Chain A
Amino acid sequence: MKDVNVLMVGVGGQGVILASDAMSEIGMNSGYDVKKTDSLGMAQRGGSVVSHVRWGEHVFSPMIKRGEADFLIGFEQLEVARWAPYLKPGGVVIIADVVVIPVSVIGSNMHYPTWQEIEGILKQYTEQIYLIPAPRIAQEVGNPRAINMVILGFLSEFLELKPEAWTDNIRRRLPPKFLESSLKAFTRGLEEAGAMRLAKGVKK
């Protein structure tokens, strides 16, 4: 059983916690020891949200050490840049194509980094960077809030578990009204990952 360290980052209200809760339970149900912790602060008031998820044979610390995240999952671009130092050299970055401008930028001389700048920061750590059109996919399946499901689907392609381990958990977690579109979003994320990895020439 390979240890898996996942850092999920975003902004309050984006569904980071739901995704990291699901990911943690899926790990536990697949036989891993699991720990997960969130840094919320006052996230409901628009601050950043960070979830550490750790799967392993026996996990001690709930927090991932800087430089040891196998996966950095970004629900928002600026937050990914902020947490980049947590990446293991050569780790995988998955980023939803979402920009949420913080108030500190509006009407001030601070500037929100361009994608090229963010990519430049990430490339200091890894070449495995996947910017995914999660908002577009979520729109297409008719559930704009299902960006987190697209991300989970995309991530699942990189891990050893069967898709059912993920979808069974999602089924239990979501209200019937959003279930079908969420599962579609998950599958589309999974397919997108397959296609993007193929295009990058990454062998499964």
Chain B
Amino acid sequence: MKELLSGNEAMALGAYHAGVVVATAYPGTPSTEILENLAHQDGIYVEWSTNEKVALEVAMGAAYGGVRALASMKHVGLNVAADPFFAVSTTGIIGGLVVISCDDPGEHSSQGEQDNRHFAKFAKVPMLEPTDSQEAYDLMDWLFKISEEFDTPVLLRSTTRISHCKTVVDVGRERKADLKQPAFTRSPSKYVMVPSNARPRRNVMEERIIKLRSYVESFPMNEMVLGDRKLGIVSSGVAYQYAREVFKNASFLKLVTTYPIPVSLVQRFAKEVERVIVVEELDPYLEDALHELGIPATGKDFIPIIGELTPEIVEQGAIKAGLLPAPKPVHKPAMAAQLPARRPQLCAGCPHVGTEYVLRQLCFQNASSPGPLKKGEVVVTSDIGCYTLGVYPPLSALDTCACMGASIGQAIGLQKAGIPNKVVAVLGDSTFVHSGITGLVDAVYNQGNITVIILDNGTTAMTGHQGHPGTGISAKRTKATAVKLEKLVEGLGVKNVNVVNAFDLKAIESTLKRCLETEGPSVIISRGPCPLNAKSTGKPFKVEADQCTGCYTCLDIGCPAISLSDDRAVIDASVCLGTACGICAQVCPQEAISEIGK
């Protein structure tokens, strides 16, 4: 049966048909839909894990128990899960274990760009890369087989344009019927990695890679397409599709097994063609591997190392390198006028706006230019989530964003460094549970003189409203045990714990002022539902035109429901959450904003 599936949907279905029993993930673009699509299926256990490290540890445990298991994450998630990734490479598994890393070249929705193919070589884990959804589907069965046959976790490396691209898939299989019964067999020499046991496993790991080298030589999805022998192109992933699009008549070697690579196959291909080039996204990973074999391949001298490739970028590179003729000069239209940007922004009724508005007033004292802090200003370290959009005008209320959970550690470090300003850390509920807890314990233990604000909107909003331990909603959307954040924070030893309504500016301001004056770590949980996830919406507000003086204070909150008409503020009632939010009415000095009909 033919279906049009995204790479993520295809991986999920492929894993389901391959008999996966336990699937885990922490949401992260572009990987989120893999677990979401597995969550619909019966007969398997799925969970949103606390973070990627826990996700991989749970999947590892399941694989120790003899069943097929899967952990999926975005590229930076594998940084978090690197410790168990290396560990399970050492111990091996019993049931098949597949780790999916979805990289985000071009940083569509990420804080950094990295090529996770290096992780495979680094951790000595075999890696395969699909070039479309059909291969993503077909590969899942192979990955589990390879994992079990070679006693190793297997890495499937995807990218945004594989994960989020729909292509036609011939769904040829059904779910495996003869699943292995879960059972754990004691084997300390395999599972207990004290040095005396870990050293022999190092030998096993190296022997495994040698066996895999010969295995991948005959892997059926690696493909040589011989056309014009003047130019031979080695490629993998979506870059292969761009290369096929751009070079109409060349010869191609598509590599699906990219660690280890099939050495003899590559050498055979290099002999078939006059010149070898490599078309790959991000780092010269394959190019370097070819150089190690003594093949004089080129690639990165005309294909950019930074950012996402497009067929156009590949084409321009090829023209620059003289591999393709320059296009005929065509009438080139004058450049389009400077068009206004459409940046992502916090939604109307977003519970983060009020807190970030107060941070802007109190910590930035409305200063907008970068530079040294004045006396009395406060540093605001921030984290990863919707609220990071508060770095943009008009809120402009954040000083840092590095990686999940870093805000708290950064705040402690700034304070311990002895800067003359106070420090506030801001992070979301999901991020706090992911990796903020350990930072906060550090603040308690080491008497960090900081204030931590947890923006609790009751969901993982940025990635599409997944549950997390604080929400009481499971990956299958059933009821789960909720971890109460205020109890958790108190339990960690924080004495100064405050819960405020995220839509009450006065309460947020007075609480923050009080916390900044107190010694020792303090926590403010600023709570209000995400408007895209809230059960009820409020009654919309309006601006009384004759009361509005055009001072534009309401524009300082950056609400998408507020715009200008004849130099006076107007509210779009179809977007406004009104009584469920009310931030604009609280900032209006003229009291010109109120509920419609009142």
Contacts and interface: CB of A to CB of B under 8 A. Distances in A.
Most buried by B among A43, A45, A79, A111: A45
B300 interface: no
Contacts of A45: 344-347, 386, 389
B552 interface: yes
A161 B342 CA distance: 35
A121 interface: yes
Nearest to A81: B339
Nearest to A111: B340
Given A25-B4, A62-B165, A124-B334, A42 B462 contact: yes
7 contacts: A28-B2, A63-B242, A81-B336, A89-B331, A103-B345, A106-B563, A124-B333
Contacts of B464: 44
A105 B340 contact: yes
A102 B563 CA distance: 9
Contacts of A106: 555, 562-564
Contacts of A183: none
B541 to A, nearest CB: 17
Interface of B: 2, 4, 108-109, 132, 161, 164-168, 238, 241-242, 244-245, 310-312, 315, 330-331, 333-334, 336-337, 339-347, 386, 389, 394, 462, 464, 532, 552, 555, 558, 560, 562-564
A103 B558 contact: yes
Contact of B342 (A37, A46, A59, A85): A46
B401 to A, nearest CB: 14
B161 A65 contact: no
A112 B464 CA distance: 30
A41 B109 contact: yes
A113 B339 CA distance: 8
B325 to A, nearest CB: 16
Interface residues of A, number: 50
B114 to A, nearest CB: 18
A37 B308 CA distance: 14
B344 A104 contact: no
Contact of A35 (B166, B315, B339, B386): B166
Given A28-B168, A103-B558, 17 more contacts: A24-B4, A24-B166, A37-B166, A40-B108, A43-B344, A45-B345, A45-B346, A45-B386, A46-B344, A47-B342, A60-B242, A62-B238, A105-B340, A106-B563, A110-B340, A113-B337, A121-B336
B1 to A, nearest CB: 12
A66 B315 CA distance: 11
A184 interface: no
Interface in A80-101: 81-82, 84-85, 89, 101
B344 A47 contact: yes
